[in-house]
C-alpha cells in the first residue's frame, strides 16, 4: 500500500476514534503533530497504533522505538508505508 490519499484518509479516520478533542479532518496534514496538534498522549497513541495494526494489517511488534519516536501524521504514514512494502 503506498502513501496515498486513501491511506491518509484511512489513518486520520482512526485518529478521530481515539483523539480526546474534536478533529477537523480537513485541517489535518502530514505535518500535523500527534502530541501537539492532536493532543495524543502515550496512551491514546498506542490505541491509535493498535487500530492501525488492525486497519492496515501490519504488525508494530518490532517497531517500539519507531512508534515512540513518531512525531507527525507523516511519520506514522511513512512507518505504515514501510511495513506494508516489506510485507509485499
Partner 1 sequence: MDSGRDVASESLVSLFGRRAEQSPAPAAPRCSEDTLTVFLSDSEVRLLLAGRNGHCELPPLLQHLPPGLRQLRVVADYRSFAPFCSIGSFTQRLQASLPGARNGAVALQVFVLGNDVAELPRLAADEGELQPALDHLVAAIGELIFEARRRADDHFGRAPLTLPDEAEGAIHLLPAGAVAEFLASRAHALPPGAHLLYAMPVCSRRALVRAVAEAAQIATRDATGAMPVDAVGELLQLELNHACHHHQLGRDAELAARSDADVQLHAIGARDSVDWQQRTQAIVQAQLAAHRALQLPVFTRLPGLQWRQAGDDQVPYLRCGHADQALLLVNAFGLTLDVWHDLARRLSSQFRVLVIDEAVAAHDQRSLSPTYYDDADALPRYLAAVRAVLQAEGLAACHVAGWCSGAKYAIELARSMPESVASLSLFAPSFAGAQEPEGADSAFETNLHTMCKLVERMPQAAANMASSLMAMTAKAGGAAPAPREDPLGAAVYALADRQTLPWQQAPFSSSGHMVAYSRQLLNFRAHQISLPPAAARLEPPVLLVTGQMDTTTCNRRAQAICARLCSPLHFELQRAGHYFIQQNSALISRLLDAFVRHGMHTESPHPRLARVAQSPEEMLVSGEL
Binding site for partner 1 (CB under 8 A): 17-18, 20, 39, 41-47, 49-51, 53-54, 59-61, 63-65, 67-69
Residues 6+ apart with CB under 8 A from 50: none
Q: State the nearest-atom distance from the C-beta of 52 to partner 1, in Å.
A: 10
Q: How far is the CB of 25 from partner 1 (least distance, A)?
A: 18
30/71 with CB nearer partner 1: 71
- 35/39 Cα distance (integer angstroms): 5
At 72, give phi and psi (nearest 5°): -125, 170
Q: What is the largest CA-CA distance in the chain?
A: 35
CB of 74 to partner 1, least distance (A): 18
Amino acid at each position: 500500500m503506498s502513501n496515498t490519499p486513501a491511506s491518509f484518509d484511512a489513518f486520520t479516520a482512526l485518529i478521530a476514534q481515539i483523539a480526546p478533542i474534536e478533529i477537523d479532518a480537513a485541517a489535518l496534514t502530514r505535518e500535523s503533530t500527534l502530541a501537539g496538534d492532536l493532543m495524543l498522549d502515550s496512551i491514546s497513541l498506542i490505541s491509535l497504533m493498535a487500530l492501525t495494526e488492525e486497519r492496515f494489517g501490519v504488525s508494530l511488534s518490532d517497531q517500539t522505538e519507531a512508534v515512540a519516536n513518531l512525531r507527525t501524521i507523516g511519520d506514522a504514514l511513512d512507518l505504515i508505508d514501510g511495513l506494508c512494502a516489506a510485507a509485499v
